[in-house]
Amino acid sequence: MNSLIKAVGLVLCVDQRLLLVRSQDQVAFYLPGGTIEPGETEQRALQREVAEELGVVLREPELLARYRTDAVGRGDGVQVDLACYTGAVDGEPVASAEIAELGWFTRAEYAEHRVTAPAIVELFADLDPGL
């Protein structure tokens, strides 16, 4: 069965590194964010998810890119439509809610992981080559 997950993610870079998180039920790191609840806009869903997962307030989210690809760890035929947003955050991100850990990665560091998310690999390829 084919299915599509509509999701949003925060692209936050500091010192040439991208913030990525890993939830307790996943092996791969991915962008902070998540799925859109009924009646939510993408921006509101991202603000809610970032507050829950990182304990920070997201201001002025702006769409950066959109990726549609296989959803890592969700089974065969499951794809993700990932809307990637930038924005400023108030506070220091910390792993909260279902997030087991967070880290700041360069493209090369992410590629060394045993399991990577195809959308994040594509995002790294589109970002500044220095990442």
Q: Is residue 12 part of a domain?
A: yes
Q: Is residue 131 part of a domain?
A: no
Query: By residue range, what is the domain housing residue 45?
Result: 3-126
Distant-in-sequence, close-in-space partners of 20: CB < 8 Å, separation ≥ 6:
29, 30, 31, 32, 102, 103, 104, 105, 110, 120
Rounded to the nearest 5 degrees, what angle is found at the Cα of 127, between the Cα atoms of 22 and 12?
45
Model-level pTM?
Answer: 0.93
Q: Is residue 34 part of a domain?
A: yes
Pairing verdict, β 78-90 and 99-105: unpaired
Q: Is residue 57 part of a domain?
A: yes
Confidence of residue 113 (pLDDT cuts 50, 70, 90): very high
What digits encode the pLDDT tens for the residues 14-40? 998 999 999 998 999 999 999 999 999
Cα(120)–Cα(131) distance, integer angstroms: 12
Tally the domains of the chain. Answer: 1
